[in-house]
Amino acid sequence: MARPLRGLLVIALEQAVAAPLCTARLADAGARVIKIERADGDFARAYDSVVDGESAYFVWLNRGKESICLDIKDKSDFELLRTMLEKADVFIQNLAPGAAARAGLGSKALRAQNEKLITLDISGYGESGPYRDMKAYDLLVQCESGLASITGSPAEPGRVGVSICDIACGLSAHAAVLEALIERGRTGTGKSLHVSLFDSLADWLTVPLMYQEHTGQAPRRIGIAHPSIAPYGVYATKDGEIVIAIQNNREWLRFCNSVLQKPELGEHESYANNESRCANRDAMNAEITAVFSASSTSEIRGRLLDAGIAFASLNDLRALSEHPQLRRFDVATPSGTARLVAPPAQEDGVSFSTGPVPSLDEHGAAIRAEFGAGD
């Protein structure tokens, strides 16, 4: 079955996580993605070697792409790249701000050459402003944006355990490219796009930012709990622990009646609505813990199921690896075969598959021949 982006050519002068995530999603949808690498390769190739000698990050983000090594400071390589861009639909790059333009690969110049081209520049803090030239890695942006200040335990801030700024940026970039492709289908012309790590993460921080600006107080760090919804967190049972989430007053009443078996708590003025439950969180948690700690995890799970209350296990990554709901697929790598997590979106009747992870410059000779290097 033909994939929706089949026939589109994407040129990616990319490295690390944000831009490769965007282009990986485009490749998953059938676009031809040619990855431009330096002689020593995308530095994400050397982040680790845990996948049979390959980098976990690189395997995840570069399946289904072609790799060619180019030196854009070399005249013949630069001309080859410009020839490729004359035929491209999308050009994505995450060099330092201004570097692409200085190299002759700025959006304005490229779109003068190919008006159908969609260009996307990915940066740390954007193309303008006082932080424009600041280096911006994921951890730095987690700290600079304030995310770390609301993450972790009450004792200290913490880093989100995945590269969330890069991921937010890559997904925002992917959506922007798809929107631009739809618009080009109507107008026949491309456009210039810019997405930054900081802007992407700031967008995700809208709710806690509004708390800060409208109440004068940011959400507190409270570990595995929710700062503005209660009860919403982990509770100990007689033989383990369980995570519960109450989203509205109807659920709270059912929880008190059927799970805690204390209907009087459901009508207590201290817990009458979510704001009051948050204000009296410690007393409420003591009531819940008293019941849960006297019962087994299986017993509490049964009550929660019967009452239709949301709950989960506090799993580790080993449990995720063995989770019955986890969808996987195989992808070929230069060193063997890797088992990856399947993309979230599913199509009825279609099993997801993708092309292999390329070795460095694996497609260089073929691409040079195709686009007329040396003509």
Whole-number Å distance between alpha carbons of 302 and 64: 44
> Are residues 179 and 37 part of one domain?
yes
Active-site residue numbers? 226
Whole-number Å distance between alpha carbons of 329 and 346: 13
Handedness of CA 270, 274, 280, 286 (dihedral sign): positive
Do the Cβ atoms of 173 and 160 come closer than 8 Å? no
- Is 226 part of a structural domain of the chain? no
Whole-number Å distance between alpha carbons of 182 and 176: 10
> Are residues 198 and 53 part of one domain?
yes
Q: Burial code of 121-150, b = ≥16 C-beta within 10 A, e = fewer?
A: bbbbbbeeeebeeeebebebbbebbbbbeb
* Separation of first and last alpha carbons in the chain: 36
Number of domains into which the chain is organized: 2
- Is 157 part of a structural domain of the chain? yes
Whole-number Å distance between alpha carbons of 33 and 177: 14
Contacts (Cβ under 8 Å, ≥6 apart) of 353: 329
Q: Which domain does 13 fall in, by range? A: 9-205+325-370
- The CATH number given to whatever domain includes residue 343 is 3.40.50.10540
> Are residues 265 and 183 part of one domain?
no
> Are residues 188 and 71 part of one domain?
yes
- The 10 Å Cβ neighbour count of residue 248 is 10
Q: CA distances (Å), 101 to each of 69, 74, 107, 110, 179, in order? A: 20, 16, 7, 10, 24
Tens of pLDDT along the chain (375 residues) come to 578 999 999 999 999 999 999 999 999 999 999 999 999 999 999 999 999 999 999 999 999 999 999 999 999 999 999 999 999 999 999 988 888 889 899 999 999 999 999 999 999 998 888 988 888 899 999 999 999 999 988 999 999 999 999 999 999 999 999 999 999 999 999 999 999 999 999 999 999 999 999 999 888 888 888 888 999 999 999 999 999 999 999 999 999 999 999 999 988 999 989 999 999 999 999 999 999 999 999 999 999 999 999 999 999 899 999 999 999 999 999 999 999 999 888 888 888 888 999 999 999 999 999 998 544
Kind plus residue range of the DSSP H or E element containing 119:
strand 118-123
- The CATH number given to whatever domain includes residue 241 is 3.30.1540.10
> Are residues 332 and 238 part of one domain?
no
- Is 217 part of a structural domain of the chain? no
DSSP-assigned beta bridge partners for residue 122? 195
> Are residues 272 and 242 part of one domain?
yes
Give the pTM.
0.88
Categorise residue 39: left if φ over 0, alpha if ψ from -120 to 50, beta otherwise: alpha
